[in-house]
Structure 1
């Protein structure tokens, strides 16, 4: 077989293999890459390019190397779904950059973020004064989430009916059926309050996939699928 045909055949086979492997990784990896996934993608691309052009390299060994490099993100994703502790270790926690209009310089230095970069990200969200921000956090995927102070938020119907209160971000007080007492404390409540609220709904905390609460006592629940089936 002529070399150019062999290169074309190897390239086509490698492209199809990469396509199916990428499908296995899921849409999450396609939308936002972690640092580890970014390095993996660069390495796999380099291996694939070398396999396509270097006819002296065995195709089977190259594909085995690609599969091994792809297996680690899959393994990390699987363990992260099963363990919230490992998920926090692997992905980290959001960093609070602004709280009650005050910039946390230590958090900026820790994340290697300059004030100019922070202001630029705020402007992209149509926020031009840091003092107008109630909370701004750098999420684990690198996005900046911003909550404006109550008086700076657009007026909604509830504002006409309710007494003015300072806005606070909701906290995930239950994740994967496990209570986070630190998150409860952050919104001013404790475990007995949460259990009482769940009892009103005839629920056990182990049946809750995700529960979020704020300092005003608003509690939203998302149950495990098997719980929804039992209730129906």
Structure 2
């Protein structure tokens, strides 16, 4: 039992390291090649845990071999578009200028029901409102609406809008994020003053606090359902 426990802990940290080295982009795309690598890594990690007779070194060596191949192919795919299409596939246009590409759908073995389902999931229940639909290499469907079906934007109405900033978490479960506070334009003194003005004497009383797009402070308290937002922006 102790051997299984130790092997599990060691392999956990090895797999965690391998996944971090693979990178966020690799995990988010999940092309067929990346999916195969992930499944194989999971299987190779399980074998030394399930079978104590299998050497840990053999399992770890196989895992790092897959990691090497993954990183190598990723680097080669950056250099060669042909290799990238070979391992990850290429996007397929299913709807072009409002017309269904039957030839491409047949090649991908997709039915019209599959296409309509993907359009509904993508927020386009009516085929008549779609100008382009592209099946990406990771299997997701990208939908471009027809110009007359797109919602109006401030630019369409010639309305000037001030630039917005990215929302940032300042406090979460009592944990303070000073690096985010610095980017937001607030200072610790200003934030603490806003909290104190609303009866919050300690940051530990704050369940969640963040700055929105206009750099306004929003605070959720731990022991209360109340939430308040400042009218002051930084």
- Determine if the TM-score, normalized by the shorter chain, exceeds 0.5: yes
Equivalent residue in structure 1 for 2:126, among 125, 129, 135: 129
Quick check: 1:100 aligned with 2:97?
yes
Measured after TM superposition, the shift of residue 158 of structure 1 is 4.3
Normalising by structure 1, what TM-score? Answer: 0.63
Quick check: 1:26 aligned with 2:23?
yes
Quick check: 1:72 aligned with 2:82?
no
* Counterpart-to-counterpart distance in 2, 1:62 and 1:85: 32
Quick check: 1:63 aligned with 2:60?
yes
Structure 2: which 5+ runs fail to align?
159-234
Equivalent residue in structure 1 for 2:113, among 111, 116, 138: 116
Quick check: 1:82 aligned with 2:75?
no
Normalising by structure 2, what TM-score? Answer: 0.63
* Counterpart-to-counterpart distance in 2, 1:111 and 1:69: 28
Aligned position for 1:8: 5
Q: Please say if residues 134 and 141 of structure 2, whose CA atoms lie closer than 8 Å, have aligned partners that are also in contact.
A: yes
Q: Please say if residues 32 and 138 of structure 2, whose CA atoms lie closer than 8 Å, have aligned partners that are also in contact.
A: no
Aligned position for 1:17: 14
Q: Identify the structure with the greater helix proportion.
A: 1
* Counterpart-to-counterpart distance in 2, 1:157 and 1:13: 54
Structure 2 matches for 1:148-159, cutoff 5 A?
148-159=145-156
* Counterpart-to-counterpart distance in 2, 1:34 and 1:116: 23
Measured after TM superposition, the shift of residue 103 of structure 1 is 0.7
Structure 1: which 5+ runs fail to align?
162-232
Instruction: Find runs of 4+ consecutive structure 1 residues off by over 6 angstroms.
Output: none
* Counterpart-to-counterpart distance in 2, 1:125 and 1:138: 12
Give the secondary-structure state (helix, strand or coil) at the position aligned to 1:136.
Answer: strand
Measured after TM superposition, the shift of residue 85 of structure 1 is 3.5
* Counterpart-to-counterpart distance in 2, 1:30 and 1:89: 18
Aligned position for 2:50: 53
Give the secondary-structure state (helix, strand or coil) at the position aligned to 2:38.
Answer: helix
* Counterpart-to-counterpart distance in 1, 2:78 and 2:95: 29
Q: Count the aligned residue pairs.
A: 158
Measured after TM superposition, the shift of residue 157 of structure 1 is 4.3
Measured after TM superposition, the shift of residue 6 of structure 1 is 0.8
- Superimposed CA distance per residue, residues 100-156 of structure 1 (whole angstroms, 9 cap, x where no aligned partner): 211111111111221111111111222122122111111111111111111111123
Q: Please say if residues 102 and 130 of structure 1, whose CA atoms lie closer than 8 Å, have aligned partners that are also in contact.
A: no
